[in-house]
Structure 1
């Protein structure tokens, strides 16, 4: 489990008034194959929300299935996007700066987005607090029926989503869900950063192992079910 960030310094508590909410739209649903199409980073402080969205030319054809989700075609990305590696570098730099400034990084389904970054830059490390609204929802309300997509959770928590699968809208929705979760479960904001990271990693691991065992019991392939949070390792 990737529960412990790199620095030895202690992590601040999660404060929804001091966060950077981050979201990627990509070429694939496989984080080990996906290339970045858009990267959105919304800094939220007492000053308000400051969004930045970067469009990348992923350097490969964007599959029709991916375009159907986020609306960006290969032609549009090639004509208007920055080189993929520049967007990757700018994104990682922004996350590191956020952590250095004491902000938490909010990522909905963190093991996807953060694994994409690690796949393209193996030097990328988690250097601060990560808060994953999707993971938190699963272990805080494990028996609630229904899907847990960002659209579903936005409706459940009563927050505005905007244009689903548009990176900035998704990042803002994740931030709003995180804020609502802290209202419902204030203990998440009183835990130390290390405690909160460990809790999320342990709960993710337990859920993944349970799902693996279910698949094995059904005679199905369980090899693609990752157990590490907030970054996955290929072949783990």
Structure 2
């Protein structure tokens, strides 16, 4: 039995913006799934969080979460973040992979939010003091199909790998997690050797794959005159 047939823990956030240092989480989902298809066992947790700051109109246009919604029904950030970090730490400590699309963003903003609210980091909750194993379909796709043209957003990846989704449902954290878990399974169908790689080795391979992509992409952007907001070569944080 490969890791693809065992328990995975999907994770996604929707936020006030795209800065992992300054923006806030407004909703999150953690979905634990064992197996795939109709026989899969699924346990889902979602959080609506009052970030304590106004949600920009542009962010609301993406995920549909408004100030009125979080003020009326949102959980306090400290309580929600502690619950999220505890679940993820428990999964990682048990050896279950955390699967996230563009994991660098979601893990980094979670760590920043935990620090902002005086809570222990996810890394510090783990015996290795290292957030692993993480599986990121975006990193894997960039590495395995490097020269494919076109966008690589989640909706594009679903189309590429034949994962049926309703586009309007995406950008809800729970829908994004389910799609991400399906995409990783679909990638493994196309690249069956993926399941043969031990999770610890796969994690390290993704670290190197992301570093290489970020370094090369940054060089290309710089050559075009862009020197701000270059991708960080570190992963998953």
Asked if Structure 1 and Structure 2 have the same fold, meaning a TM-score greater than 0.5 normalized by the shorter chain, the answer is yes
Residue 124 (str. 1) matches residue 117 (str. 2): no
Q: Secondary structure of 1:158's match?
A: coil
Distance 1:63 1:185, change over 3 A: same
Deviation at 1:15, TM superposition (A): 2.5
Please point out which of 181, 184, 192 is paired with 1:186: 192
Task: Say which is worse superposed, 123-132 or 20-29, in terms of deviation.
Answer: 123-132
Structure that is richer in helix per residue? 2
Q: TM-score, normalised by structure 2?
A: 0.88
Q: TM-score, normalised by structure 1?
A: 0.88
2:205 alignment counterpart: 199
Please point out which of 20, 25, 28 is paired with 1:39: 28
- What is the distance in 2 between the residues matched to 1:16 and 1:160? 20
Asked if the contact 1:161–1:170 (Cα under 8 Å) also holds between the matched residues in 2, the reply is: no
Please point out which of 83, 87, 94 is paired with 2:80: 87
**Mind listing any 5+ residue stretches in structure 2 that lack a counterpart?**
116-120, 124-129
Task: Say which is worse superposed, 119-128 or 108-117, in terms of deviation.
Answer: 119-128
Distance 1:131 1:207, change over 3 A: same
* Matched residues, number: 220
Summarize the alignment of residues 1-236 of structure 1 with structure 2, pairs less than 5 Å apart.
Answer: 14-46=3-35, 48-122=41-115, 123-125=121-123, 126-162=130-166, 163-222=169-228, 224-231=230-237
Task: Say which is worse superposed, 115-124 or 142-151, in terms of deviation.
Answer: 115-124
Distance 1:41 1:16, change over 3 A: farther
Task: Say which is worse superposed, 139-148 or 119-128, in terms of deviation.
Answer: 119-128
Q: Secondary structure of 2:227's match?
A: coil
Distance 1:16 1:131, change over 3 A: farther
Hey, which bits of structure 1, 4+ residues long, moved more than 4 A? none
- What is the distance in 2 between the residues matched to 1:17 and 1:187? 16
Deviations along 1:139-195, one digit per CA (max 9) or x if unpaired, are: 111111110111111111111334010110000000000111112212222112221
**Mind listing any 5+ residue stretches in structure 1 that lack a counterpart?**
1-11, 232-236
- What is the distance in 1 between the residues matched to 2:20 and 2:186? 28
Alpha carbon RMSD of aligned pairs, Å?
1.7
Q: Does 1 or 2 have the higher relative contact order (CA < 8 Å, sep 6+)?
A: 1
Distance 1:160 1:151, change over 3 A: same
Asked if the contact 2:131–2:236 (Cα under 8 Å) also holds between the matched residues in 1, the reply is: no
Distance 1:16 1:29, change over 3 A: farther
